Structure 1
């Protein structure tokens, strides 16, 4: 802080964090830092089109890749929470080249490639969906996407803004053993400060200016403050036992919630990978956004409010994944399970009803899991 927080130019700390990211993430040989996940996905899209010479992209329904115009088609996150079909203000021309498929649906992806031969630049997805709730890929889904993109001269892009450094140190691609062509990152790599990044194979990334002709820049990109926070966060995550601990507490949490819900007679399903989790009020399984929308969102709203009253703060939407962190203690997990048991008992025999929420705009402190004494389980 004494040396300054931004100089509008690269700094040594940017190199240090870049080396850490490159050594951790299998697909990244070169990386460009930006200021948000949205910026990362915007840069990625321009790069994919520049490298392939094609313009169309395939994204998956319910996946969220920031608020740039081309991605606001059947998007998840807040778009899904508010029930918006698409966003006003986005011209048709901006989304004309965006094709969509249900997640985990290889048949539709194959048909899109067949109908748009030689025109698709990239397939972009959250390898584990977090913006429709928590949805894991079916076995071999990611493998099949890699094969399809290679066969058609398109790029495979993993949006790891949520999953990067969260479900393993090398992200979802390390966890599943699938190496995409380009990866986008954010959130964790800035230690909670505004940050984003995109990276990939050297031959692709060398197109980015000043090494190549594809222009993208930002005055605050790679600023010393965010880089310092990111470096310290990755150092902590790399300590032995970090991901084993996250896996343990998250597994206990989701199993406790599912057991409590089923014991009280509710249809509920869910899952987790390391520090990322989610559950739906339905028998399941949930494989895509359509399945997620068919879950009992009114019951989730009542559960959210009940848990809030018990001192546990989940994401206030069925369409957001939950997260644990190294700051959460075993006591936090048991407190949360006990609260869930109490809340489920309260509306055991009640049918779903619509719930109206009053204003609730909390301010989070720097512990990432505390809010006025509450247990917070969704800070990204």
Structure 2
């Protein structure tokens, strides 16, 4: 059941916007039905155009670590906007945010602010190629690094799979230098390095995958990648656009205790406004223009509004106990969901990485790669999604998207979610 105003609004939007949306997953194609149009949010809750409220586990796909309309974030944006929204010139806010990020993630010695996670990953690939003088990049099936041509690649069923374009409009020649391997399969990676190691510029990996639902990397897998990159001279790039400041306050690299050469950040560092960053070792980052020959630029990179929002978000999130409390709340949520699913005889497996989580309708006790996620019961997820939506719980409209928790999720939100889930599991 959809809200009464969302359907005509979607019909109207479809006349002017491609598919009625500005990002494909919002169209509800994976779950069916009409997208629900939202009009406001506060804390852990969002409200649709009919005034119905939902506990929100999408949180704009991750950036709202403090919840919707956090007073400190709103104040920072408002005060900054009153002084100007963009100058095309340096501001102190850029340095302040870079200093804050570096204090939380000490392995990042230099930063370059950009405008999106896609731009961060695109820049990482160019920088790695320029620094190493090599052309190939290696990515993993089920990991998404933005809609960069060279990274929109599907992995085949074989262990050694060369890149195949995963979207019309991407020439085969663009992906000829892209290698793919199964996620969490270090033996497959070793075989690729044995054949192509001296031509691989970078290994790009989501240390906690957020784009095949939430699937954390095995510690041995990441350690193996670090060793292979060290041996071959390739750069290890962590895509922490989703896991940054979520898997742990210091990101997945702090959670696992593994330092990448480059890190792609986004989501949380904008606090709800569009910004992202590429950071890493100073000797590598200094290859970017203007200190180095690898060109990268952006007019709105480091714009004051996004910097102020990010600063306020990270300042609030890094207060003692704040992130840890949200992690503990997430664990209670998943425990409650598993208990209620078991009580209804519904097989449910969960993953947690800090304040990220994944729900998988499967009898398996292990979900480590794309094939495992794809084998889950998609039809049951659709029914669960719509049941929870009707009950006032907003989840991502795809079984391949992670869930997120904010510091604003409280006992009321928890009880509302678990009560709704108990009813929906019974129906399943």
Flag whether TM exceeds 0.5 (same fold).
yes
For 1:22, the equivalent position in structure 2 comes to 102
1:36-75 aligned at under 5 Å gives the runs 36-74=116-154
Q: Please, what TM-score do these two structures have when normalized by structure 2?
A: 0.78
Query: Which residue matches 1:333?
Result: 414
Aligned residues: 339
1:268/1:282 contact within 8 Å kept: yes
Q: Deviations over 1:275-324 (max 9, x none)?
A: 11011011221110011000001110110000000000001111001000
The alignment's TM-score, normalised by the length of structure 1, stands at 0.87
Report the counterpart of residue 287 of structure 1 in structure 2.
Answer: 368
Does residue 321 of structure 1 match 2:392? no
Shift of 1:85: 8.0
Cross-structure match for 1:89? 169
Selected match of 1:10 from 87, 90, 112: 90
SS of equivalent residue, structure 1 residue 133: coil
CA RMSD in angstroms comes to: 1.3
8 Å Cα contact 2:219-2:256 kept in structure 1: no
Give the Cα separation in 1 of the matches to 2:187 and 2:247: 28
Task: Select 2:391's aligned residue among 305, 310, 319.
Answer: 310
Determine the C-alpha separation between the residues in 1 that align with 2:367 and 2:356. Answer: 16
Asked if residue 119 in structure 1 is aligned to residue 199 in structure 2, the reply is yes
Aligned residue runs from structure 1 range 35-184, under 5 A? 35-74=115-154, 86-184=166-264
**Per-residue deviation, 1:74:** 2.3
Within 5 Å, give how 1:347-358 maps onto structure 2: 347=428
CA contact (8 A) 1:137 1:287 kept: yes
Question: 1:245 maps to what in 2?
Answer: 325
Cα offset for 1:117? 3.2
Shift of 1:115: 1.5
TM-superposed CA distance for 1:261, in Å, is 1.3
CA distance in 2, matches of 1:91, 1:21: 37
Q: Provide, for residues 134-169 of structure 1, a one-character-per-residue CA deviation record: whole Å limited to 9, x for no partner.
A: 111223221111001111110110000001111222
Tell me the secondary structure at the aligned position of residue 302 of structure 1.
helix
For 2:213 and 2:137, locate their aligned partners in 1 and report how far apart those are by CA, in whole Å: 23
Which residue of the partner structure matches residue 287 of structure 2? 207
* Structure 2 unmatched ranges of 5 or more: 1-80, 156-163
Within-5 A mapping of 1:263-302: 263-284=343-364, 285-302=366-383
Q: Is the 8 A contact 2:208 2:247 kept in 1?
A: no
Task: Give secondary structure in 2 for the equivalent of 1:303.
Answer: helix
List per-residue Cα deviations over 1:109-138 (Å, max 9, x = no partner): 001111213110111111011100111122
Contact 2:388 2:421 in 1 (8 A): yes
Q: Distance in 2 between matches of 1:74 and 1:283?
A: 26
Q: Contact 1:26–1:173 (CA<8 Å) still a contact in 2?
A: no
Moved more, 171-180 or 1-10: 1-10
* Counterpart contact for 1:27–1:183, Cα < 8 Å: no
Q: For the residues of structure 2 that align with 1:168 and 1:70, how far apart are their CA atoms?
A: 29
Contact 2:165/2:172, CA 8 A, preserved across alignment = no
**Selected match of 1:196 from 276, 279, 283:** 276
Question: Which whole-Å CA distance do the structure 1 matches of 2:218 and 2:244 have between them?
Answer: 19
1:120 & 1:92 partners in 2: Cα distance?
A: 18
User: Where in structure 1 do 4 or more consecutive aligned residues deviate above 2 Å?
Assistant: none
Taking the aligned partners of 1:109 and 1:262, their CA distance within structure 2 comes to 37
Instruction: Give the deviation of 1:248 after TM superposition.
Output: 1.2
Of 215-224 and 270-279, the range deviating more from structure 2: 270-279
Residue 309 of structure 2: aligned partner? 229
Higher relative contact order (CA 8 A, sep 6+): 2
